[in-house]
Amino acid sequence: MPGAAVVRRGDVVTRTEVGPPVARPRDRRPHGPDGPTVVRRMSAGDRLRLGARGLTVRKGRTALSALGVAIGITALVGVLGLSESSRADLQAQLDALGTNLLTVAPGQGVLGDDATLPDESVAMIARIPTVESAAAVRKVDATVRRNDLVPTSETSGIGVVAADLDLLRTVAATLREGRWLDDATSRYPAVVLGSTAARRLAIGSLDGGVDVWIGSRPFTVVGILDPVVLASELNEAAIIGTTVADAVSDEDLPPSGVYVRVDPDEVVATRALLGRTANPAAPDEVQVSRPSDALAAQDAATRSFTLLALGLGGVALLVGGVGIANVMVVSVLERRREIGVRRALGATRGSIGGQFLVESVLLSLLGGVAGALLGVALTWGYATAQGWAIVVPWRPVVAGLACSLVIGSLVGLYPAMRAARVPPTEALRTA
């Protein structure tokens, strides 16, 4: 044979068989003249490492492109976390106050005139077996003044009511200072002020005895209430005993409202009975309401704001996703050479596409994790500042991470496809 081939033709001498023999597991041997070619799939660890490598090369770009998703997830987790915390707070409040308080008030007659409740309505309501306690309040036509120099027409927005002694227990009110009315003080000129009423009258403390003027006589302030959540009208009231009220007012005082605390399991059934019981003659004129519903409605209103904020977070997330897609497309263009070299090393279209897909998912997930941490921190900080119970928003965190995972895979598909289509000859193209 002509030429200068060192190895004789026909000899089965491959390079791997030259040099010191190296022990290798059989299946890892890439080929053999008489054995099948064995190529295993890349391990998941290798795929992850390869994807992560692309992110560590350009750290600044990685951080910036993950930012969009991070903002979106922060908004998501923060908003959901805050609303969850505030709801937990509300729930705690409702649990403490109970949702079994009902109020009975005279509505309007058929002609639009103000209706009244019959005098016996309180006693009749109290006789319903599922009612735990009932207390009436009666409006007194008088004004409260700090002293007798203030004209009697000055109301300061404070109403005077005469209350049954059971009122405090029924509405679950507490005293900031002093005492509630009792059998004795309800017969004498003594008054308990609602929290707002006390502030308007500039009464901070009861030390040394404080008087206010109701009608034409001084009343001793014996107590000041804490804010009453479920009967907020009491905050702006000066509450006196029923007996002394008759002395202040010339006329008979019909009940202007009855507070009813019922068995928590029988609220709905009892509510249906109250109208007929309070005013059998005109049940339609009686208004029965449940103050805790107002709190729940308030919650529903907050929830629609939450939805709006969630929508905004979703938009941020979407924009962040598009940003990642952009960066990845640019990255594919910049790395055509690297792709070519990898193809020459034996990468299939699938492994190239996979590399870029993993990269995009990791990028998005990076933003997701950062956003989730920030969102939790935000929730924690705000809840602490508000004195709410701290609720770690697990569900939003999990949802946020899942979102970023899905977004990363979706927006990574197109760049991955483009990367997979880069031809292997790209490696040898002379630039």
Partner 1 sequence: MTVVELHGVTKTYGTGPAALTVLHDLDLGVEAGDYMAVVGPSGSGKSTLLHVMGALDRPSTGRVRFAGDDVTAMSDAALSRVRAVHLGFVFQQFFLLDGRSALENVADGLLYQGVRRPERLRRAREALDRVGLGARAGHTPTELSGGECQRVAVARALVHGPRVLLADEPTGNLDQASGAAVLDLFDTLHEEGATIVVVTHDEHIAGRLPRVVSMRDGRVEHDTCPVPPSSAGVTS
Contact residues toward partner 1 (CB under 8 A) are 1-19, 22, 25, 28-31, 33, 37, 39-43, 45-46, 50, 53, 56-57, 337-338, 341-351, 423-425, 427-428, 430-431
Q: Which is nearer to partner 1, 57 or 64 (CB)?
A: 57
Q: Which is nearer to partner 1, 108 or 425 (CB)?
A: 425
Residue whose C-alpha is closest to residue 170's, from 124, 132, 197, 125: 132
C-alpha to C-alpha distance for 319 and 334, rounded to whole angstroms: 23
Burial pattern 163-193, b for ≥16 Cβ within 10 A else e, equals bbebbbebbbbeeebbebbeeebbeebbbbb
Q: What angle do CA 189, 191, 194 make, to 5 degrees?
A: 165
Q: Which is nearer to partner 1, 46 or 119 (CB)?
A: 46
Q: Which is nearer to partner 1, 10 or 60 (CB)?
A: 10
Q: Which is nearer to partner 1, 24 or 303 (CB)?
A: 24
Q: How many CB atoms lie within 10 A of CB 263?
A: 14
**Minimum distance from CB of 57 to partner 1 (Å)?**
6
**Minimum distance from CB of 414 to partner 1 (Å)?**
20
Q: How many CB atoms lie within 10 A of CB 58?
A: 14
**Minimum distance from CB of 358 to partner 1 (Å)?**
14
Q: Which is nearer to partner 1, 13 or 269 (CB)?
A: 13
| Token pair for 138 | 């009666």
**Minimum distance from CB of 66 to partner 1 (Å)?**
20
Q: What spatial distance separates the first Cα and last Cα of the chain, rounded to whole Å?
A: 40
| Token pair for 30 | 């890439």
**Minimum distance from CB of 419 to partner 1 (Å)?**
14
Supply the DSSP string of 102-145, one letter for each residue.
EEEEE-B-TTSPBP---TTHHHHHHTSTTEEEEEEEEEES--EE
**Minimum distance from CB of 366 to partner 1 (Å)?**
19
**Minimum distance from CB of 346 to partner 1 (Å)?**
2
Burial pattern 279-297, b for ≥16 Cβ within 10 A else e, equals beebeebbbbebbbeebee
**Minimum distance from CB of 351 to partner 1 (Å)?**
6
C-alpha to C-alpha distance for 347 and 296, rounded to whole angstroms: 60
Residue whose C-alpha is closest to residue 160's, from 212, 107, 105: 212
Q: Which is nearer to partner 1, 4 or 268 (CB)?
A: 4
Q: Which is nearer to partner 1, 224 or 416 (CB)?
A: 416
Enumerate residues 6+ apart whose C-beta is below 8 A from 56: 62
